[in-house]
Amino acid sequence: MQVGENRDESMKRKRPPTGRRRQRLHALALWVLSLTPLACGDNGVIFFQTNFGIVGSDATCNNGGGQFPLQQQNGLLVVVILGGTSSIVLANGAPGRCSDVRAGVHVSVNGRNEGGQIQAGEVRLLQS
């Protein structure tokens, strides 16, 4: 307590935030945590991102995987790699296959960027 300050004023400052201020602090904390990358091992960092765009050509499929070019909204063309654990979801919500990824279809791709390619975790077809 400082000189000239009464006890009630000093107690008000030490109380935990309530109401609207608490909500703002909570939202700020969640925002900061959302910017924190997921750590992997001692030196690795993995960023997961969602990309939206149009499939440039039919997917090239092989045993348990494949790949296709994705024309992103900003005009950038990237290669999407489908691995054995990648899932494809059709526009109606049903599970899909690599062969369902066709040229001209709008998609969202959730995955990680590795060397200019996207390693897909999930590909959602937004239109059939």
Residue spans of the domains in the chain: they are 7-36, 45-125
Q: Please report the sign of the dihedral spanned by the C-alpha atoms of residue 47, residue 86, residue 56, residue 106.
A: negative
DSSP code at position 6: -
Residue 87, SS3? strand
Question: What would the pLDDT profile of 96-114 be if each residue is shown by its tens digit?
Answer: 999 999 999 999 999 988 8
Task: Provide the pLDDT confidence category of residue 47 given band limits of 50, 70 and 90.
Answer: low
Asked if residue 119 has pLDDT above 60, the reply is yes
CATH class of 45-125: mainly beta
CB 93 within 8 A of CB 43: no
CB 88 within 8 A of CB 123: yes
Question: What would the pLDDT profile of 16-34 be if each residue is shown by its tens digit?
Answer: 555 666 666 656 555 555 5
List CB contacts of 95: < 8 A, sequence separation 6 or more. 87, 88, 89
Pick the more confident residue, 68 or 44. 68
Strands 77-89 and 117-125: parallel
Task: Provide the pLDDT confidence category of residue 50 given band limits of 50, 70 and 90.
Answer: confident
- Which of 13-27, 34-48, 63-77, 84-98 is the least confident region? 34-48
